Every structure is written in structure tokens, then in C-alpha cells.
Structure 1
Amino acid sequence: MKSIMVPQSFIHPLFYQEGDVVSSKSDLFYYDMMALLNEREERPWERGSETPFKVFQNEKEEMRDLFRQRKKEDVKELMKSSIGQFITFLFWMNHSPIPGFQNFSDHVASLKIKPFNVTERLFFIMQKPNQYVSYMQLDELFTEANKQAKVNAIIKRK
């Protein structure tokens, strides 16, 4: 696996800092960064991968339990990962790599398939990742996006 410095466009206080390195396919936005750098790697968005949705489904109950136990600091890393998975799912269901976080709201607004008010809801979640209301909102966004992805896939088959 090739290690790369996180591109400037992917620097965001929630996810990556200046000088961070990614080296694994399990790192958030790995494939998207590789595409930005024109590295030859898989392009999972071309097939509209559901993997990010499945990852969230696996982590969902653990996050709910941590919130119930009021362990906000413990849930922060899981929420960060889940928010990243949602962003990945949002772009990949539109068969597009994540372009990074510069002009992010414009990129989200240009997506054809997306939940209602996704930009505002997502920014709220990203600003307050360790609040229970953010977890609930993220769960709703995943549910809505998954339904839209399935409907779009059915329409494309016809």
C-alpha cells in the first residue's frame, strides 16, 4: 500500500490536519485522494458502492450505547468515521469521487442524488460530532440517502 501526504483540499479540522499521511484503504477518503493525485487505484464510486452505508450500520449500535452511557469523548472517533463514511456514500452514490473540502457546499449542492437540506444538516453534524442529536441526524441522513440510492438504481435499470 502506498503512503501519501493528505492533499491540501482534504485538510479539514474534523478529519485531517496539515502533514497527516494516509496509507491504507481503510483510511477515510483514501480512494478519493488517490484519484485526485492521479494514482492508479480502484474507483469504487464508478459502481456506486454501498460499503460506507454498511460500515455505518455496523458502528451504529456501538455509538448509540456510548451516547447512552454519556461517553461523548469515546464516541467522537466513531462519529468522525461515520461522518466520513456518509460523505463518501453521498458522493459515491452519485458515481463521483469526493473532490475535497474546498468549496465543499458547492460540490454537495451540485450532486443529483442527495437528502433534503443535506448541506445544512451535514455542517451541523460536522460542527458538533459528539452530540446525540448529531448522531440521530446522521442516522436519518444515511437512511434517506440509502433509499434515494436504491430508487435511483431501480430507475437506471429500466
Structure 2
Amino acid sequence: MKSIKVPQSFIHPLFYQEEDVVSSKSDLFYYDMMALLNERAERPWKKGSEAPFKVFQNEKEEIRELFRQRKKEDVKELMKSSIGQFITFLFWMNHLPVPGFRNFSEHVASLEIKPFNVEERLSFVMQKPYQYVSYMQLDELFTEANKQAKVNALIKRK
């Protein structure tokens, strides 16, 4: 698999630093970066993929248990990944790639399908990513977004 330097628009203190590279489909925002750089033809958001939601569902009990045991260092990577998965899910359920983090609030605000007050709630989670209250907020955001994605899919089928 080809390694690429993380594009400037995806540099964010929570996810990627200058000079970081991605090389695997499991890296956060891999498909979105590849599309931005015209490196791959795969566009999972075109079909509104639920993969990011499923990843979180598989990890959420482990995160909850790590918080319960007060293992803050162990929870960091999982929370970072889960926040990235939510951002991916939010854009992909709108059939759009993640645009990166420049003007991120405006991109989120312009989405058609999104949870109530997602801009403020996601901002809080991203500012305090390793707190239990952020995990609870993230779980709620995923639940609401998944419901909205399913309702939207039903409406479009009619």
C-alpha cells in the first residue's frame, strides 16, 4: 500500500502532526485524503458507509471499561480513533468525504443530515477528548447520527 504525507488540511493536534504519513485503510481519514490527492478511485461515502459506526460499536465497551478503571493513558488512542470515526461517519452519511480541518465548523454546519447541535457538541468532544463526559457525548452523537442516517435512507428509498 502506498504511503502518503498527510495533507496540510488534515493536520489537527488531535489527529495528525506535520510530517505524519498514512499508509493503511485503517488510518483515520485515509480514503478522504486519497480522494483529496486523487490517489485512489475508492469513494466509500458515495454509498453512505456505516463502517465508522460499526468500528465505534466494537470499541465503545472497551473505552467505557478503560474509563471505569481510570486508565487515562490507555483510553487516549481509542478516543482519538472514535472521534475520527464519528467525523468520518458524519460526512459519509451525507455522501461527502471529510474535507479536512480548515473551516471545519463551517463544513459541519453545512451538512444536511446531522445530530442536533453537532457543531457545539463535537467541538466540546474535540477540545476535551480524554474525559468521560466526552465519551458519553460521543456515544450519544453516534446514536443520533445513526438514527438520522437510517431515517434518511428510508426516505430516499420511497
Instruction: Please indicate the TM-score interval, normalised by the length of the shorter structure.
Output: over 0.9
* Contact residue 29 and residue 84 of structure 1 kept, 8 A: yes
* Contact residue 6 and residue 21 of structure 1 kept, 8 A: yes
- Report the secondary structure of 1:81's partner residue: helix
Q: Which runs of 5+ in 2 are unaligned?
A: none
Relative to the length of structure 2, the TM-score reads 0.99
Question: Where does residue 111 of structure 1 map in the other structure?
Answer: 111
Aligned residues: 158
Give the Å deviation of 1:72.
1.2
Structure 1 moving runs of 4+ over 4 Å:
none
Identity of aligned residues (%): 89
Give the Å deviation of 1:41.
3.1
In 1, Cα distance between the equivalents of 2:129 and 2:144? 19
Query: What code does the residue aligned with 1:80 have?
Result: K
What's the RMSD between the two structures over aligned residues? 0.5
Give the Å deviation of 1:12.
0.1
Measured against aligned partners, the alpha-carbon deviations of 1:57-77 in whole angstroms (never above 9, x if no partner) come to 000000000000011111011
Query: What code does the residue aligned with 2:40 have?
Result: R
Question: Where does residue 72 of structure 2 map in the other structure?
Answer: 72
Q: How does 1:21-36 map to 2 (within 5 A)?
A: 21-36=21-36
Query: What code does the residue aligned with 1:141 have?
Result: L
In 2, Cα distance between the equivalents of 1:4 and 1:107? 24
Question: Where does residue 12 of structure 2 map in the other structure?
Answer: 12
Relative to the length of structure 1, the TM-score reads 0.99
Question: Where does residue 92 of structure 2 map in the other structure?
Answer: 92
Q: Which runs of 5+ in 1 are unaligned?
A: none
In 2, Cα distance between the equivalents of 1:74 and 1:55? 18
Question: Where does residue 144 of structure 2 map in the other structure?
Answer: 144
